[in-house]
C-alpha cells in the first residue's frame, strides 16, 4: 500500500466510529514543545517476535513484505530500528562479499524478496551462503525456519510419496518462467547435501520442472 500510516489511521478511525465513539476534530494536531519538565514516562511499548520466529514467518509462507522490512532493519543505524532500503542493500552486499560471494558482473541485488528482474546470483554463490548458514552459529534457527518437503511451508505439498519427502529443507522462489529451489537435503548415506536449482526462461509445463527436481532430489537421498 502506498501509505501504511495513513491506512492504519483510517482503519483505527473506522473501528472507533463503529464502536459508537464520537470523534470531534479529525484534523491532525500540530506538535509543540511541552512545558512539562517532569521525566518522560513510558506509556506503552511493544517488542517484536525473536528474529528466529520472524525468519520462519518470512520463509514458511514466502512473505515478501516481511523480507523487505527485514532488509530495512539491517540497514538501520542504532538507536534507530528501521533504516533505508538503500542502506540495507549496501550492508547485505558488503556482508556477502565477506563470505566470498563474487559480487562482480554476475551478481546484482535490488531487493530482499527476489521479485526484481534485476536480481542476479550464481548457484555456486548461493551455495556459499547456504554453507555459511550450515556451518554458522544459527544453523538450528535456519533449519527450524525453512519449509520441509511434504511437511510445512511452501513445500508442504511437494515431493510427497518420494524419497525426498521429509528430507528436503529448502526455500522456493517462483515467478513466471522462472523457478528456484535451494537448501539442504538429508541423504541416507552421505549426510547433508547443499543444492541450488535455478531455472530461468522456462517455457515448458511447470509440472515437468517439478518432476525433474523430484527425481534429482530423490536420487540425492538414496545414492
Share of the chain above pLDDT 70, in %: 94
Quick one: cell of 35?
512545558
* Helical (H) or strand (E) element with 183: strand 178-186
Answer whether 100's CB lies under 8 Å from 108's CB: no
Return the DSSP state at 149: T
Contacts of 72 (CB under 8 A, 6+ apart): 82, 83, 84, 85, 87, 88
Residue 127 has pLDDT above 90, yes or no: yes
Residue 29 has pLDDT above 60, yes or no: no
Select from 163, 161, 158, 166 the least CA-distant residue to 197: 158
Residue 115 has pLDDT above 80, yes or no: yes
* pTM for this entry: 0.79
Which residues are bridge partners to 199 per DSSP? 179
Mean pLDDT of 196-213: 91
Answer whether 68's CB lies under 8 Å from 111's CB: yes
Residue 34 has pLDDT above 90, yes or no: no
* Sign of the dihedral through C-alpha 156, 185, 145, 173: negative
Sheet holding 178-186, edge to edge: 168-175, 178-186, 192-199
CA distance 141 to 162: 26
More confident residue, 158 or 32: 158
Amino acid at each position: 500500500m502506498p501509505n501504511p500510516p495513513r491506512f492504519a489511521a483510517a482503519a483505527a478511525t473506522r473501528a472507533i466510529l463503529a464502536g459508537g465513539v464520537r470523534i470531534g476534530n479529525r484534523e491532525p494536531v500540530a506538535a509543540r514543545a511541552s512545558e512539562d519538565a517532569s521525566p518522560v514516562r513510558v506509556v506503552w511499548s511493544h517488542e517484536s517476535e525473536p528474529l528466529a520466529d520472524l525468519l520462519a514467518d518470512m520463509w514458511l509462507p514466502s512473505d515478501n513484505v516481511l523480507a523487505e522490512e527485514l532488509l530495512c532493519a539491517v540497514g538501520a543505524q542504532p538507536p534507530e530500528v528501521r533504516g533505508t532500503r538503500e542502506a540495507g542493500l549496501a550492508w547485505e552486499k558488503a556482508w556477502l562479499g565477506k563470505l566470498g560471494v563474487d559480487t562482480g558482473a554476475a551478481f546484482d541485488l535490488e531487493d530482499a524478496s527476489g521479485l526484481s528482474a534485476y536480481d542476479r546470483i550464481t548457484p555456486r554463490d548461493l551455495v556459499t551462503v547456504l554453507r555459511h548458514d550450515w556451518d554458522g552459529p544459527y544453523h538450528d534457527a535456519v533449519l527450524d525456519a525453512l519449509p520441509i518437503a511434504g511437511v510445512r511451508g511452501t513445500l508442504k505439498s511437494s515431493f510427497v510419496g518420494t524419497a525426498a519427502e521429509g528430507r528436503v529443507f529448502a526455500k522456493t522462489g517462483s515467478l513466471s518462467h522462472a523457478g528456484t529451489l535451494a537448501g539442504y537435503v538429508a541423504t541416507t548415506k552421505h549426510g547433508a547435501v547443499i543444492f541450488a536449482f535455478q531455472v530461468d526462461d522456462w517455457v515448458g509445463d511447470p509440472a515437468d520442472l517439478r518432476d525433474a527436481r523430484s527425481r534429482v532430489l530423490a536420487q540425492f537421498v538414496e545414492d
